[in-house]
Amino acid sequence: MSTTVFITGATGYIAQHIVKQLLAKGYKVIGSVRSQEKGEDLQKLVESDDFQYVVVPNMTEPGAFDSVLKDYPEITVFIHTASPVTFISDDIKRDILHPAVDGTINVLAALKKYGDNIQRFVYTSSSVAVYPQGFGDTERRILTEKDFNPITIDQVHDAEGAYAAGKTFAEKAVWEFVEQESPKFKVSTVNPSYNFGPQAFEVKDKSQLNFSAEVINSVLKTKSNEELPPLAGDFIDVRDVARAHLAAFEKDEAIGQRLVLASEHFTNELIAHLIKQEFPDIDIPEGNVVKSEEQLQGLLWQLDTTKTEKILGFDYIPLDDSVVDTVEQILSVE
C-alpha cells in the first residue's frame, strides 16, 4: 500500500515540485489549497489519480487542519510548506509575521490532537532562519546548521524583517514542540536559500512566474542601458529543494536535523552574464563578472552545509543550468 503524504500550501512554487516528485515516486498525495478554484487548477496541472486536494481557506484559524487529520487517517507524512509570500502590506506583522507563526502552531496543535498515525513531519523553513541578516550581528563568520537568526520582534520594521522573523519564530516553535511534547513522529526542517528554477508544471500565463522566479525575472526586465540592482546571496535550485523534502522524511539520517540548502553564490550581474551567454539576443545588461566578484566579497556570512550535503547524498543542479531552464520556460510563454 502506498504511503500517503499531506502537504500544506500545495499550489506554492516549492510545493508543486514536491507534489510532482512525490507522485513520480509512487506516493499518494493530499494537498491543502485556499479555495476550490485553486484546487481544481492544480488538479488539472498534476493530472494524476494519486493526487487530491482539500480546501483550508485560512491556516491561521484555530483548528484549521484538525478535520484533515480526522478525515484522512491514512496520512503518515505531513509536510508543512504553506507560508505568506507577500512583501506588500500596510501591516507587516498581521500579514506576514503572524500568519507564518500561527499557521505552524495550528499544524502542531492538530498533530498533537489527531496525529496518531503521523510518522514524519517536515517543516519548510528558510536560510533566513539561519542568517543574522544584519539584525545585531555584523561579524564576518561561517554559519552552519546550528545557527539561528537572533532577530527579535522589536527588530521587525519592514517586510523583509517580518518574513525573516516569521520563518525564524515558526521554526523555533517546531523545535520547541519536539522538546516539550516528545511526539511519536520524527521531525526535520528544510532551510533553502534563494531558490529559482522552472515551474514544476507547464505555465500558460507568464504572470504565474512573477514571484517564484523573481530574481531571474527582475534581470530579464532590466534593459541593456539600465543598471542591474545589486543583489548577492546563496542559491539552490527549486528541484533540489523538493528533492530534499523527500529525503527529509525518507532518510533516517535526516531525523531531528535542519537541512540547510545552498549550492553556489549568485549575483544579478552573474545571472545576467549567464543569460547573455546562452541567449545573446535578449535586451538585458551584459553582466559584469568582476563586479559580481566584488559584490560577493561583501557578503558577511558564508554557509558551511557539509552536514546537510552528506545527509542528502546527491549533487545539486548548477546555477547556470537553473538559470537557462528558467529563462527557457519564461520565453516559452511570452
What is residue 209's predicted lDDT score, i.e. its pLDDT?
A: 59
What strands lie across the sheet with 232-237, from one edge to the other? 194-196, 232-237, 264-267
User: Is residue 22 a contact partner of residue 96, using CB atoms and an 8 Å limit?
Assistant: no
What's the length of the chain? Answer: 334
C-alpha grid cell for residue 30? 493530499
What is residue 276's predicted lDDT score, i.e. its pLDDT?
A: 97
Q: Is the pTM of this model over 0.85?
A: yes
Read off the pLDDT of residues 158-206 as tens digits, 9 standing for 90 and up.
Answer: 888 888 889 999 999 999 999 999 999 999 999 999 999 999 998 766 6
Read off the pLDDT of residues 223-234 as tens digits, 9 standing for 90 and up.
Answer: 999 999 999 999
pLDDT < 50 stretches in the chain = none
What is residue 87's predicted lDDT score, i.e. its pLDDT?
A: 61
Q: How far is Cα 27 from Cα 179, in angstroms, rounded to an integer? A: 30
What is residue 162's predicted lDDT score, i.e. its pLDDT?
A: 86
Outline where DSSP puts E strands in 119-253.
120-124, 141-143, 186-192, 194-196, 232-237
Ordered by where they begin, the domains of the chain are: 4-332 (3.40.50.720)
What is residue 334's predicted lDDT score, i.e. its pLDDT?
A: 64
What is residue 132's predicted lDDT score, i.e. its pLDDT?
A: 83
Q: How far is Cα 154 from Cα 246, in angstroms, rounded to an integer? A: 36
What is residue 237's predicted lDDT score, i.e. its pLDDT?
A: 97
Measure CA of the first residue to CA of the last residue in the chain; give whole Å: 43
Q: Which residues of 165-176 are buried (b: 16+ CB within 10 A; e: fewer)?
A: bbbbbbbbbbee
What is residue 91's predicted lDDT score, i.e. its pLDDT?
A: 80
- On the 0-12 / 13-18 / 19+ scale of CB atoms within 10 A, 18 is buried
Comparing CA positions, the residue from 65, 80, 76, 68 lying closest to residue 27 is: 76
What is residue 148's predicted lDDT score, i.e. its pLDDT?
A: 95
